[in-house]
Amino acid sequence: MSVERVLFDAPGPRARRRIWMVTAVSLVLFGAVVALALRQFSQHGQLAADRWRPFAESAYIRFLWDGLQGTLRATAVSAVFAFPIGAVLALMRMSRSRPVRYLATGYIELFRSVPLLLLIYAFLLALPSYGINLPIFWKLVVPIVMVNAAVLAEIFRAGVLGLDRGQSEAASAIGLTYWKSMRLVVLPQAIRLVLPTLVSQLVSLLKDSTLGYVVSYPELMKQANNLTVYTHLLIQTYLIVALVYVLINLALSQLASQLDRRMRRRRPIPGHIAPVLGGADPVGASDTAAIDAPAG
């Protein structure tokens, strides 16, 4: 069984036909909604050239560009911290040490349940009264990291549990400790298994940064709100911002697809045992490969 089929079954011919039919109907309905919206905008003068011309001026572009830079900065820093913390939490939750496992489980369950907005308000209003007053940037990033690390921990754990148990058993057979087998053998394969989900969580990180308005952090949505106060071009501004978010999400999805294709090309041939850590062939490995390899 391939690693892709651990988490889901490939659709059959009838299921694929249903998927195509639902997709076609959805596209038709979406096109109808877009056409109706454009018609309404045109009737109310929202598509007039003079309402879009200001967005070609350098001052408008620079103002929104500053907001986009703030969004990307908050997303990148959050990802740099959330992904490794999530991986560590996943390993802790699967630890053989009961206190470590309970500690990680408590953290994950707590911060998966707490709304991100509530946590941001805690950093904005509650913690300063106790002398903990972080800069505006970190009042946004730290809550995002705390919540998303808990979600990512469950994603990593699902990837590890989705692997064949023989992977960890083989690592133990060649003398690797539990933590080394997790770090060198199990976790890299688990990451490949859940890579699309990890990219989806990166998209979620990007959207979480829109809560920066709560702490007055100048991200893209905050800058758009400020711009509408002076221009009163609400529809035009928010359509442009929505288009920017769609393009970024499409780029991330394309990146995930390319990474997945590259990893598929590097997958070992069935029946062949690749060298482990550049060391000697473990006892019985050659015999096992000979038995498992297809005849003829």
Model pTM?
A: 0.74
Place of tokens 């350098």: 58
Quick one: pLDDT at residue 42? 78
DSSP H stretches of helix in 44-135: 49-52, 58-93, 98-113, 116-121
Domains of the chain: 50-265 (1.10.3720.10)
Query: Do residues 77 and 141 lie in contact, with contact meaning Cβ atoms separated by under 8 Å?
Result: yes
Place of tokens 């933590």: 179
pLDDT in tens, the chain (296 residues): 444 444 456 677 888 888 899 899 999 998 999 888 888 877 777 778 778 888 888 888 999 999 999 999 999 999 999 999 999 999 899 888 899 999 999 999 999 999 999 999 999 999 999 989 999 999 999 999 999 999 999 999 988 888 777 777 777 778 777 777 777 788 888 887 888 788 888 888 999 999 998 999 999 999 998 888 888 888 888 899 999 999 998 888 887 777 777 766 665 534 343 444 444 444 444 443 333 444 44
Place of tokens 């707490």: 114
How many separate helices (H) and strands (E) can be counted in the chain?
A: 13, 0
| Relative orientation angle of helices 98-113 and 136-162, to the nearest 10 degrees | 120
Strand ranges (E), the chain: none
Q: How far apart are CA 266 and CA 264, in angstroms?
A: 5
